[in-house]
C-alpha cells in the first residue's frame, strides 16, 4: 500500500500574523483520497495504525500566494539544458536580491516540452521548514500548489480551488486569484471554473509524479543513514560465521597435516623394516639408517652427509633442479644442476661453500635453453 499525507503549508502572511495553526490536508491511499479537512485533523489521520509494509510519505504543498509558477519553452534544448536555461531566465526576470531567491525548475520529459519554474525566497523556505519541524513533520517533497492545476486552452483561463486558495491558471502562468487583477490579466480571455473532479484527478497525478520539488539545491535534505535491525542481525551472524570459518580452516589444515605426517612416518618405518631396520618411529628409523650408512661409508664419507647439505641448499633456490646424482666411495658427491639462470646455480654453490664443502663446477648450456653445471662436492669439509 502507498499511503500519502498531503498538507498545505500556510501563507507567509499567516505565519507573520501567528494565525497559521490549522491547515488544509488530505490523505491518499493507493491513489484514492480517503480523508481530508481544513483543520488539524491531519494529526489523527497521520497517526492512525499503520501497516508495516506500507510505503508512507508526507508531501507539503506551498501556497500559490508565495510561489507563483511560470512555464517556459525551449523548443530545441535537451531537457537538462532547458531546465538550466529556465532557472537563469526566471532569475533575470525576478525582482529583489538574487541571493535571497530560491529558484527551482523542473526537468521536462522530452525535448520541446514546457519547463515549470517556481520562484520563492529562502526566507519562505526557512519559515515553512520550521513550521513543519515544530509539528515533527519531515516532508518527502514540497510542491507548489499551483503546479497541480492543469493547463487550459490557449484562449481561456482556469480558476480552481486548491486547498484554501483560488488559483488562476493560463497556458504559461499560475498565480493566486485577485478579483481586481484577474480581469486585467485575462484581457479578452474568459475565466472558467475547473471541474472539481478534474482538479482532484490532476492533484493526484501531480502527487504521483511531481513536476518540480522545492526541496532542491541548498534545501535538498541530506541523506540520513538508519540502521535496519534485521540487517544488523544478519551482519552479526555473518560475522560470527566468518570467525568460525576462519578458525576452522587452520584447525582442519593442521589435522590434515598431522594425518599426512603420520601416514608418511608409517611409510618410512615400513620401508626401514624392509631394509632390516626395526624402529618405533620415523625419527628412530632415519637415525639408524644414517648410522649404518655412516658406518658403511666411513663416518663423514657417507652419502647422506653431503646429499642432505645439497638438498638444504637447493631449498633456498626453487628454480634449481637436480638432473643427476652419484656418490663415490671416497666421499665425493657428483651431481648435475639445471636452472633458468646461472645466478640460481651459484646461489646453491655459495650455500654449500658456506658450510665448508669444497666445490668444483663446470658450466654448460642445456639443450632446452636452461643453464646447467656439473658439480662435485667433497664429502669431507
For 152-165, how does the pLDDT look when each residue is reduced to its tens digit (9 = 90+)? 988 889 899 988 88
CATH of 298-381, one of 3.30.1360.100, 3.40.50.2000, 3.40.30.10, 3.30.930.20: 3.30.1360.100
Fold of 2-221: Nucleotidyltransferase; domain 5 (3.30.420)
Domain ranges of the chain: 2-221, 298-381
pTM score: 0.57
- Per-residue pLDDT at 126: 94
What tens-digit pLDDT sequence spans the chain (381 residues)? 788 889 989 999 888 877 666 678 888 888 888 888 877 766 666 665 555 556 788 999 999 999 999 999 999 889 999 999 999 999 888 887 888 999 999 988 888 889 999 999 999 999 999 998 988 888 999 999 999 999 998 888 989 998 888 999 999 899 999 888 888 888 888 889 999 899 999 999 999 899 999 998 888 887 655 556 778 888 889 999 999 998 899 899 888 888 888 888 888 888 888 877 787 888 887 777 767 765 665 555 667 778 888 888 888 888 888 888 888 877 788 999 998 888 889 999 998 888 888 889 898 887 778 889 999 988 654
Q: Report the C-alpha gap between 17 and 378 in whole angstroms.
A: 110
Asked if 168 and 175 count as a contact pair (C-beta separation under 8 A), the reply is yes
3-state DSSP assignment of residue 33? strand
Residue with cell 669431507: 380
Residues 6+ positions from 27 with CB-CB distance below 8 Å: 3, 4, 5, 6, 33, 34, 35, 36, 42, 45, 46
| CA-to-CA separations, 101 to 81, 104, 114, 128, 315, in angstroms, rounded | 21, 10, 22, 15, 78
DSSP codes, 37-71: ESSTTHHHHHTS---TT-EEEEEEEE-TTT--EEE
In degrees and rounded to multiples of 5, residue 60 shows phi and psi of -105, 140
Q: Report the C-alpha gap between 337 and 335 in whole angstroms.
A: 6
Residues 6+ positions from 6 with CB-CB distance below 8 Å: 25, 26, 27, 28, 59, 60, 61, 207
Q: Report the C-alpha gap between 351 and 326 in whole angstroms.
A: 20
Find the Cα–Cα–Cα–Cα dihedral 217, 119, 137, 226, rounded to 10°. Answer: -10
Amino acid at each position: 500500500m502507498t499511503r500519502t499525507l498531503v498538507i498545505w503549508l500556510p501563507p507567509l502572511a499567516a505565519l507573520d500574523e501567528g494565525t497559521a495553526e490549522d491547515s488544509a490536508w488530505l490523505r491518499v491511499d493507493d491513489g484514492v483520497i480517503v480523508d481530508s479537512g481544513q483543520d488539524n485533523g491531519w494529526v489523527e489521520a497521520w497517526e492512525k495504525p499503520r501497516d508495516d509494509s506500507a510505503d508512507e510519505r508526507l508531501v507539503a504543498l506551498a501556497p500559490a500566494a508565495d510561489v507563483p509558477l511560470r512555464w517556459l519553452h525551449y523548443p530545441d534544448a535537451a531537457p537538462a539544458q532547458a531546465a538550466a536555461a529556465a532557472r537563469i531566465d526566471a532569475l533575470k526576470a525576478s525582482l529583489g536580491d538574487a541571493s535571497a531567491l530560491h529558484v527551482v525548475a523542473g526537468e521536462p520529459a522530452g525535448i520541446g516540452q514546457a519547463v515549470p519554474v517556481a520562484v520563492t525566497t529562502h526566507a519562505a523556505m526557512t519559515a515553512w521548514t520550521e513550521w513543519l519541524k515544530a509539528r515533527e513533520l519531515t516532508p518527502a517533497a514540497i510542491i507548489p500548489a499551483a503546479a497541480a492545476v492543469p493547463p487550459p486552452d490557449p484562449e481561456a483561463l482556469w480558476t480552481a480551488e486548491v486547498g484554501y486558495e483560488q488559483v488562476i491558471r493560463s497556458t504559461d502562468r499560475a498565480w493566486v486569484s485577485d478579483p481586481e487583477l484577474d480581469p486585467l490579466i485575462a484581457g479578452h480571455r474568459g475565466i472558467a471554473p475547473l471541474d472539481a473532479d478534474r482538479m482532484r484527478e490532476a492533484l493526484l497525478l501531480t502527487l504521483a509524479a511531481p513536476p518540480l520539488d522545492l526541496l532542491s539545491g541548498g534545501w535538498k535534505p541530506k541523506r540520513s543513514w538508519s540502521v535496519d535491525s534485521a540487517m544488523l542481525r544478519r551482519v552479526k551472524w555473518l560475522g560470527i560465521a566468518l570467525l568460525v570459518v576462519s578458525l576452522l580452516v587452520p584447525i582442519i589444515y593442521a589435522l590434515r597435516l598431522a594425518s599426512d605426517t603420520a601416514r608418511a612416518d608409517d611409510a618410512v618405518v615400513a620401508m626401514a623394516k624392509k631394509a632390516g631396520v626395526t624402529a618405533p618411529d620415523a625419527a628412530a628409523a632415519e637415525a639408524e639408517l644414517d648410522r649404518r650408512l655412516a658406518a658403511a661409508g666411513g663416518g663423514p664419507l657417507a652419502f647422506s652427509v653431503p646429499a642432505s647439505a645439497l638438498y638444504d641448499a637447493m631449498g633456498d633456490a626453487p628454480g634449481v633442479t637436480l638432473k643427476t646424482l652419484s656418490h663415490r666411495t671416497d666421499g665425493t658427491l657428483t651431481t648435475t644442476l639445471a636452472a633458468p639462470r646461472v645466478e640460481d646455480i651459484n646461489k646453491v654453490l655459495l650455500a654449500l661453500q658456506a658450510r665448508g664443502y669444497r666445490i668444483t663446477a663446470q658450466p654448460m648450456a642445456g639443450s632446452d635453453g636452461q643453464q646447467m653445471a656439473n658439480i662435485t662436492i667433497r664429502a669431507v669439509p
